[in-house]
Amino acid sequence: MNIELVINGTSHQLSTAASESLLSALRRLGFRGVKFGDEHGLSGADTILLDGKPVNAGLMLAAQAEGHAIVTIEGLGQVPDQGWKKTEGLHPLQQAFIETGAIQCGYCTPAQILAAKALLDRNPNPSEAEVREAIGGVLCRCTGYAKPVQAVLRAAAVMRGETSIQVEGKQVDRETGKPEGESPVYMSTCFLDTTTQTRTLPKIVIAPETSPYQTVGKPEPKVDAVKLAQGKPAFTADIELRGMLYAKVLHSPHAHARIKKIDASRALALPGVAAVLTWQDIPRVVYSTAGQSDPIPGPLDSFSLDNKVRFVGDRVAFVAAETPEIAEQALRLIEVEYEILPTLFDSTKAMEPGTPILHDEAEYVPFAVCDPAKNLAAEIRIDIGDVNKGFAEADEIFEAEYVVPKVQQAHIEPHVALTYWDEDDRLVIRTSTQVPFHVRRQLAPVLGLPVKRIHVIKPRIGGGFGGKQEVLIEDVAAHLTIATGRPVLFEYSREEEFTASRSRHPMRIRMKTGVKRDGTITANEMYILSDTGAYGCHALTVTGNTGQKSMALYVGDGEYRKSPNIRFYADIVYTNHTPSGAYRGYGVPQGFWAVERHMEKIARALGLDPLEFRLKNAIRPGEFHPFSTAWNEGREPHPETIHTVGLEECVRQGKAAIGWDGKFGNEEWRNPSQVASRKSDATTFDVRPSTRKGIGVAMVMQGTAIPYLDMGGASIKMNDDGSFNLLVGATDLGTGSDTVLAQMAAEVLGVPTEDILVYSSDTDFTPFDKGAYASSTTYISGAAVVKAAQQCAERIKIRAAKLLGLSDYQTIRLSNKHAIAPDGRAISLTEIALDSLHHSDQEQIMAAASYVSPSSPPPFAAQFAEVTVDTETGAVKVDKLVMAVDSGIIVNPLTASGQVEGGMTQALGYAVCEEMLYDEKGQPFVKDFDRYHIFRADEMPELETIFVETFEPSHPFGVKAVAEIPMDGVAPAVGNAILDAVGVNIDENPVTPEKVWKAMKRK
Ligand code: FES
């Protein structure tokens, strides 16, 4: 049928099927700012305005939109600065989203902006609650909503014509007004003096070493923010190639079965079907889907397609067709005869004799200690010191078991890959991946191609959180391109994300801790039974990290501090569940749930202050990382000294921010109803007679990259105008890493960040980088960028010295786009660039460098939580989260605080509501954002981020990691706050109302 759609004021004639959604039609017409997030409109990524009201374009038919005014993000604002053509520039909402750091991956941004526009069009002066409600239908997995809310309020003020109170960059103590320069200095600024829950910029205890920096440490807008605010076609699925096919996968309905017979003839006969592939059609090559360096530290136990399925959702066949609808139809025509096999879902039974064995294939390649005949994917046995002696010397021994669930990364952009042959018959894989170089290396044997014939392009990524550290779907599209010779797009549905992707490892964790009566830990032991699901991707390394990071924090005190007694054992077993894998924090959130719940119980049992008890036993600067002599992800360990630990200051700052001293142990504060009843105001949740308040803490540490393994590379070249191209293999998955890498290069080269043009990442054009994981990009790739920039800077100074007639180039400094001599004479970088490229002794000023770190300096944090518990229902409301973090020097407070806010929000879901559940046949209960609840803007507690800077000496700018540590402490801090409120221990997260209610009944 032919219809007319009026989009952004312009009429479009369109031939459409009656069943085509408005989302599909808009994207087909080139409006790529409208995104697919899920099938049910629950992510809100497909939000557009219809007659001024926000609607889900994926939930209505294109034909239904005829006669209505459609507005997409492309209809807002204008592209700023188009050469001689002057424009009005961006819409105030787009501008505000850029300036406040409200854009991380940017996948949800067009929808958030449109939802906000609808609000501001009808209410120019909204309250914060109204803003939160207006954007509540658009899920964001990156930001924690603090900055988007600020952005909308800021835009509203600008649109009302008000002058915003902008105190950006002025570093003062908000309380004392202490000016910049006095140490310690606090930055506590905001763009608007609104009453929003969270300020745009965090409080920072600034390290004195940063005082000469011009660009590092400044809240620069993200380098990719403008295009993301405009909804430009920056993501994998935003391009469409001529002759492109659409791929779909037939997934197993059984948890464990052999494929006895498979007949694809009826599917192949369907008009519009280009290819159907089963296990009989492609080479049988064993590999691991875990995107890791060579050799993969885990078993090789996967095939693109196999004659056996091991979980509900496992692959059975691939289809490529002219449309997604035809591909779906073809799936239903594939006839499969299964031999149903016995199943294994209980990890505690995995190694018992007679249990069904998942991996009996001859091609299985083990790694380290691993026994598929016992369903053992990996085993870890680490003894540090003399644990038995430590227990013998303890006055008390505390033992308990803790359980953590399977949870999903839930990035709003699903996994998506586009493959095609280029004109040189090389296979191009355009994919939303965190590990482009690993994709190329790992898929080469699977596809039967040499590495050099594969070209991987990583465009913008709509979030990854470890889920895209998996070589998960690229092979599907690639096999189909090889089979058909045509471009193939394969995008997961949301249901596939929940049923056929990866997740956080669920674990049972047993703790045993020996303690003297004065609170000295004499020995600490952890045993983990980890469920890797059907495949062993990341099996060894995730669980190894669980113990390595969480058990390293508490070494004991006195003589025990000099020689800690720590035991960490783990068995990682196969079951017929959806495979586990990498998820932000990489095993550490599981560990700290156990360790920090356990420490709280010990402190309370011994009558010790929970903060002092922890600090007494926590690792200190100058001490060895206890695991560095015993473990390095299955590789050779190297002893490593920890140089910087900002934990005490984190505690001091966090305590003050949450008001610990006035609340902890304060019975009157715990009983708000008593206070409220005196005020005759017992009407809200917080002050119902049944409510009690509680406060809790957790201390955590993480790591920064994998020492002696993780490598980053960078190349820089100078352009005619004194700007620079920075090419990095590092993968910005929404974290802002492109921006902080640009800031570091800009600092060295003496130019503004906007003069560094970043390109990441592409296996043909950018240097190798191991990818975005292990919180390593700022530290590892950043060091490579600094090295390359320093080499360029040296060439610039040599040429400047010649032009200025100086004998010693080393006295020249680069600043403000100039090379400046000690006597004040200066020459611009543009003049130097023109001289080097065109005038004399011509050369391209350029450099490349790479970096591997010999250390993994841990960031530290104190996480505080305040909760209200309803004792009648067990409902828990988290009122406030405060995180004080030592992540070394903060290169960009805007992006770094966004990481902490977003991480705390994901961790909040881990604490109270997120869980993937299955029935007794392994069928997943959770397939959408209805049953899997992630926090909305209007459900958020107050968030506060504080950075306590320390200068990490192993990095040129003193940085440590920031991206993962916010995942670690929220759940145990909430668990401890519930204990504080109602005196019950919930040892299994998430702490649902049911668990709290039952525990209170048992009390
Ligand atoms: S910025 Fe919102 S989903 Fe990534």
Which residues lie below 8 Å from residue 362, measured CB to CB, with a gap of 6+?
none
Which letter does DSSP use for residue 63 in this model?
Answer: G
What residue type is 430 in one-letter code? R
Residue 732: pLDDT band (50, 70, 90) is confident
The Å distance, Cα 148 to ligand 1 centre, comes to 10
For the CA of 112, the closest atom of ligand 1 is 2
**Predicted local distance difference test score (pLDDT) of residue 675:** 61
Using the mean position of ligand 1's atoms as its centre, give its distance from the Cα of residue 108 in Å: 5
- 735 CA distance to ligand 1 middle (Å): 10
Helix (H, G, I), strand (E, B) or coil at 359: coil
- Residue identified by tokens 């083990």 is 366
Percent of the chain with pLDDT over 70: 94
Side-chain half-sphere CA neighbours of 785 within 13 A: 34
What Å distances lie between residue 926 and 251, 496, 502, CA to CA?
Answer: 16, 11, 14
Average pLDDT over residues 802-826: 96
- Give the DSSP per-residue string, 77-134: S--S-BTTB----S-HHHHHHHHTT--SS-SSHHHHHHHHHHHHHH-SS--HHHHHHH
Query: What is the rounded CA–CA span in Å between residue 638 and residue 706?
Result: 11
**DSSP β-ladder status, 756-759 and 69-71:** unpaired
In angstroms, what is the span from residue 104 Cα to ligand 1's centroid? 6
Ligand 1 pocket test: which of 108, 468, 899 has the largest number of ligand atoms within 8 Å of its C-beta?
A: 108
| Average pLDDT of the segment spanning 757-768 | 94
pLDDT for position 802: 96
Centre of ligand 1 to C-alpha 643, Å, is 34
CA of 142 to the centre of ligand 1 (A): 5
Banded model confidence at residue 886, pLDDT cuts 50, 70, 90:
very high
Tell me the CA–centroid distance for residue 214 and ligand 1, in Å: 29
Query: For residue 957, which of 834, 795, 728, 784 has the smallest C-alpha distance?
Result: 784
Determine the Cα–Cα distance for residues 411 and 107; give it in Å rounded to an integer: 9
Question: How far is residue 968 from each of residues 546, 613, 948, measured CA to CA in Å?
Answer: 11, 19, 17
Provide the pLDDT confidence category of residue 51 given band limits of 50, 70 and 90: very high
Cα 196 to middle of ligand 1, angstroms: 20
Q: What is the pLDDT of residue 735?
A: 84
> Phi first, then psi: what are they for 370, rounded to 5°?
-165, 135
Arithmetic mean of pLDDT, 589-608:
98
Q: Whose Cα sits closest to atom 4 in ligand 1?
A: 105
Find the mean pLDDT for residues 12-33: 96
Confidence of residue 70 (pLDDT cuts 50, 70, 90): very high
340: exposed, middle or buried (Cβ count in 10 Å: 0-12, 13-18, 19+): exposed
* Interval 928-936 mean pLDDT: 97
- The dihedral formed by the CA atoms of 744, 749, 752 and 754, expressed in degrees to the nearest 10: -80
**Ligand 1 nearest-atom number relative to CA 103:** 1
Q: If you take atom 3 of ligand 1, which residue's CA is the nearest one?
A: 140
Cα–ligand 1 centroid distance for 137 (angstroms): 13
pLDDT in tens, 212-257: 999 999 999 999 999 999 999 999 999 999 999 999 999 999 999 9
Name the DSSP class of 465. Answer: T
Amino acid at 931: R
- List all residues 6 or more positions away from 264 whose beta carbon is below 8 Å from its beta carbon: 276, 278, 317, 333, 334, 335
| Model confidence at 185: pLDDT above 70 | no
The arithmetic mean of pLDDT across residues 93-100, rounded, is: 96
C-alpha 506 – ligand 1 centre gap (Å)? 25
β-sheet with 10-15: strand ranges across: 10-15, 2-7, 69-71, 47-50, 53-56
Residue 197 has pLDDT above 70, yes or no: no
Q: Which ligand 1 atom minimizes the distance to the CA of 45?
A: 3
| Rounded distance from Cα 496 to ligand 1 centre (Å) | 20
Atom of ligand 1 nearest to the CA of 411: 3
Q: Which atom of ligand 1 is nearest to the CA of 413?
A: 3
Taking the CA of residue 108 as reference, the ligand 1 atom at the shortest distance is: 2
345: CB partners within 8 A, 6+ apart: 255, 575, 576, 577, 918, 920, 922
From the CA of 734, give the closest atom in ligand 1. 4
Q: Are 477 and 489 in contact (CB under 8 A)?
A: yes
**List of residues 6+ apart from 188 with CB closer than 8 A:** 172, 173, 174, 199, 201, 202, 203
Atom 2 of ligand 1 has which residue's CA nearest to it?
Answer: 140
- The pLDDT value recorded for residue 589 is 98
327 C-alpha to ligand 1 centroid (Å): 29
- How many Å separate Cα 870 from the centre of its chain? 32
Q: Is the pLDDT of residue 114 over 70?
A: yes
Interval between CA 105 and ligand 1 midpoint (Å)? 5
Atom in ligand 1 nearest the alpha carbon of residue 105: 4
Top mutation candidate among 142, 228, 409, 733 for ligand 1, by most atoms within 8 Å of CB? 142
**Rounded Cα gap, residues 901 and 896, in angstroms:** 9
Q: Inform me whether the pLDDT recorded for 770 exceeds 90.
A: no
463 Cα nearest atom in ligand 1 = 4
The pTM (predicted TM-score) of the whole model is: 0.94
d(CA 823, CA 804): 11
Task: Tell me if the bond preceding 990 is cis, omega within 30° of 0.
Answer: yes
> How many Å lie between the centroid of ligand 1 and the Cα of residue 896?
15
Cα–Cα distance, 541 to 62 (Å, whole number):
47
The whole-chain average pLDDT of the chain stands at 93
Pocket of ligand 1 (CB under 6 A): 103-108, 140-143, 412, 463, 734
Q: What's the gap in Å between 94 CA and the centre of ligand 1?
A: 15
Predicted confidence at residue 676, as pLDDT, reads: 57
Give the mean model confidence (pLDDT) for residues 918-936: 97
Report yes or no: 704 and 545 within 8 Å, Cβ to Cβ: no
Phi-psi group of 101: left, alpha or beta (phi > 0 → left; psi -120 to 50 → alpha; rest → beta):
left
Question: Rounded to an integer, what distance in angstroms lies between the CA atom of residue 478 and that of residue 457?
Answer: 14
Question: From CA 35, how far away is CA 46, in angstroms rounded?
Answer: 5
Residue range 660-679: average pLDDT?
82
In this model, does residue 191 exceed pLDDT 60? no
Going by pLDDT thresholds of 50, 70 and 90, the confidence category of residue 774 is low
The token pair at 681 is: 């105001």
751 CB-contact burial (10 Å; exposed 0-12 / middle 13-18 / buried 19+): buried
- What is the spatial distance between Cα 28 and Cα 341, in angstroms, rounded to a whole number? 44
Nearest residue to 992 via CA among 917, 933, 911, 922: 911
Q: How far is 642 from 51, CA to CA, in rounded Å?
A: 59
Substitution site in 141, 227, 461 for ligand 1 pocket (most atoms within 8 Å of beta carbon): 141
pLDDT in tens, 282-332: 999 999 999 998 899 999 999 999 999 999 999 999 999 999 999 999 999
Q: Which atom of ligand 1 is nearest to the CA of 102?
A: 1
Atom of ligand 1 nearest to the CA of 142: 4
- Cα–ligand 1 centroid distance for 57 (angstroms): 18
Beta bridge partners of 633: none
Residue 1: what pLDDT?
93
Q: Is 175 exposed, middle or buried (0-12, 13-18, 19+ CB in 10 A)?
A: exposed
Question: In which band, very low, low, confident or very high, does the pLDDT at 82 lie, cut at 50, 70 and 90?
Answer: confident
Q: Reduce the DSSP state of residue 236 to 3 states and report it.
A: helix
Better-predicted residue by pLDDT, 50 or 167: 50
pLDDT single digits (tens) 382-440: 999 999 999 999 999 999 999 999 999 999 999 999 999 999 999 999 999 999 999 99
Report the 3 state secondary structure along 198-213.
Answer: CCCCCEEECCHHHCCC
Asked if the model's pLDDT at residue 547 lies above 80, the reply is yes
Peptide bond into 184 cis (omega under 30): yes
Q: Is 698 helix (H, G, I), strand (E, B) or coil?
A: strand
Ligand 1 atom nearest 106 alpha carbon = 1
